[in-house]
Amino acid sequence: MADSFPETHFKDTAALIFGAAKGIGRAVALEWARRGAAVAVADIDEAAAHATAADIEAAGGRAIALKVDVLSDESVQAASEAAARALGEIDIVMSNVGSIINGHPEDIPMSEWRRIMDINYFSATRCIKHFLPRMLARKSGHLVTTASFAGLYPYAASRMPYASAKAAVIALSESLAIYAEPLGVRVTCLIPGPVMTNVMDSMTNWTENCPMRGPGSELELKLPEDVAVTLSDAMCDGGILVASDERVWDLVKQWADGPDAFIRRQIDAFANGDLGAPSIPAELMQLIRQKAPKED
């Protein structure tokens, strides 16, 4: 089996993205369409899914919009079958649905721990369970999952359910690659760090005034469009674990060289007021200011 795909990996393929209406999912849908894929934009926000599909078609691509609830096996199956009827056999599938909460673990209800695991982890397993048998039967296909830096090394102490779920996604993707790639099915796990999306707008805070701990000032805030290009290029190169910022691997190496010492440095940094906020490039800061509401 070849170590990489040609640059035409996306050309004349059919792709289905769960969670493609906004943020990273939307950017990936637009990027894959630009590279020649027909894209099924699946999302619980049907209006936003239609808007993304319309933007793809306006740019000369081919897309359909589908409403899906990734917490339902029946809904995932229905969306998958609808995508196949419209676009043909699905070659590339991405599970990109996610939800985040903030708070101390003792304040978060058990129902929220389960909900976050279901949305962030079991949505990926639902997707894999549906598509893997088909891909194995034809010995081709590409499964893409979405994790987070929060699941890669310890820092997200204010978002433990989310960090746990994303760590599970990474472990799942690594083992799935070991199993499926020799059988002809590619596996890629996108691991985003700080990205300029609206995911925080819907975040619930379960602890009053609970500061959100970030991944570190060594890292930079990224645009979704840049992350989409990084992912797509890596998929063509045979990438399995794809970080949105390559500098994260230096932090992972520090953790691997001495996990206890790394964790204690995190404890000390937080005690000294360092929340680990990422740096913001000047061009992104200008964009943020442009989008900020104007004062009267």
Please compute, for residue 127, the number of CA atoms within 13 A of its CA located in the half-sphere on the CB side. 33
Q: Is 153 a catalytic residue?
A: no
Mean pLDDT of 161-185: 98
Mean pLDDT estimate for the chain: 93
Q: Is the pLDDT of residue 294 over 60?
A: no
**What pTM, to 2 d.p., does this model score?**
0.93
Residues 6+ apart with CB under 8 A from 162: 99, 100, 101, 116, 120, 148, 150, 156
Helix, strand, coil abundance in the chain, percent, nearest 5? 50, 15, 35
Mean pLDDT of 33-38: 98
What is the arrangement of strands in the sheet containing 14-18, beginning at the earlier edge strand? 63-67, 38-43, 14-18, 92-95, 142-146, 186-191, 241-243
> What is the rounded CA–CA span in Å between residue 89 and residue 99?
29
pLDDT for the residue 291: 64
The end-to-end CA distance of the chain, in Å, is 62
pLDDT for the residue 296: 47
pLDDT for the residue 114: 97
pLDDT for the residue 292: 56
Could you report the per-residue pLDDT of 188-228, keeping only the tens digit for each? 999 999 999 877 677 899 999 999 999 999 999 999 999 99
The one-letter code for the residue type at 70 is V
Confidence of residue 293 (pLDDT cuts 50, 70, 90): low
Overall CATH class of domain 14-290: alpha beta
Q: Is the pLDDT of residue 6 over 60?
A: no
Q: Is the pLDDT of residue 134 over 70?
A: yes
pLDDT for the residue 290: 67
| Cβ(249)–Cβ(239) below 8 Å | no
pLDDT for the residue 64: 98
* Domain locations along the chain: 14-290
Handedness of CA 53, 291, 149, 97 (dihedral sign): negative
Q: Is the pLDDT of residue 4 over 80?
A: no
Q: How far is CA 114 from the centre of its chain?
A: 19
Mean pLDDT of 257-273: 97
Residue 82 buriedness (CB in 10 A; 0-12 / 13-18 / 19+): middle
Q: Which of 121, 153, 155, 162 is catalytic?
A: 162
pLDDT for the residue 289: 65
The residue assigned the tokens 């917490």 is 71
